[in-house]
Amino acid sequence: MNAKVAVLAVLFLLAASVPVRAKKIPPRLFFLQTPVTMSGAEIPEGLYELKIESSNSAVRVTLCKDGQFVATALGAWVKNGAKYTEDSALLRVNSDGSRSLIELRFAGAAKTIVLKKPDATIHVSAKK
C-alpha cells in the first residue's frame, strides 16, 4: 500500500513539474500609423506581421516585416469591458516627442495586450 502511495506521489510531482507550453496564436497583420518605440527598438510606421505566444496571461509579441525580425516584447493579457471594433495601438507620447507602444488592441476581442516597461523586455532592432 505504501508503495502505491509513493508511486502516485512521484507521478503527481512529475506531472506538476512539466512546463506549460506556450500557445501560439496564428500571426496577423498589424498596421502602425506612426513610428514607435517598442522595447527600445525604433519601429517605422507600416504594416507588420504580429506573432503572439501566450501562456496563461503572460504573452510575448513579435513584430516582423518582409519576413525579417523587427522587435519583441513581453506583456500580459488584460480583460476589457467591451469588444474593440478595430485593431489599434495605444501609444505613450514621451517628453522628447517620440511615441512608445504600450498596448495592442484587437478587433472583436474584449481583451488587450499591455506591454511591460522597456527595461523589462527583450529588444533587437532590424535594419531599416
pLDDT in tens, 58-68: 999 999 999 99
In a domain, 95, yes or no: yes
In a domain, 125, yes or no: no
Q: Identify how many contiguous H helices and E strands the chain contains and give both numbers.
A: 1, 9
Cα distance from N-terminal residue to C-terminal residue, the chain: 67
DSSP 3-state percent helix, strand, coil across the chain (nearest 5)? 15, 50, 35
β 88-93/99-105 pair status:
antiparallel
In a domain, 8, yes or no: no
Residue numbers of the domain that contains 64: 21-120
pLDDT value of position 4: 58
In a domain, 13, yes or no: no
In a domain, 54, yes or no: yes
In a domain, 70, yes or no: yes
pLDDT value of position 23: 77
Min mean pLDDT across 13-27, 31-45, 63-77 is at 13-27
In a domain, 29, yes or no: yes
Q: Is the pLDDT confidence value at 43 over 80?
A: yes
Q: Exposed (0-12), middle (13-18) or buried (19+): which is 70, by Cβ within 10 Å?
A: buried
Average pLDDT, the chain: 82
The domain tally of the chain equals: 1
Kindly report, residue by residue over 72-124, the tens digit of the pLDDT: 999 999 998 889 999 999 999 999 999 999 999 999 999 999 999 754 434 44
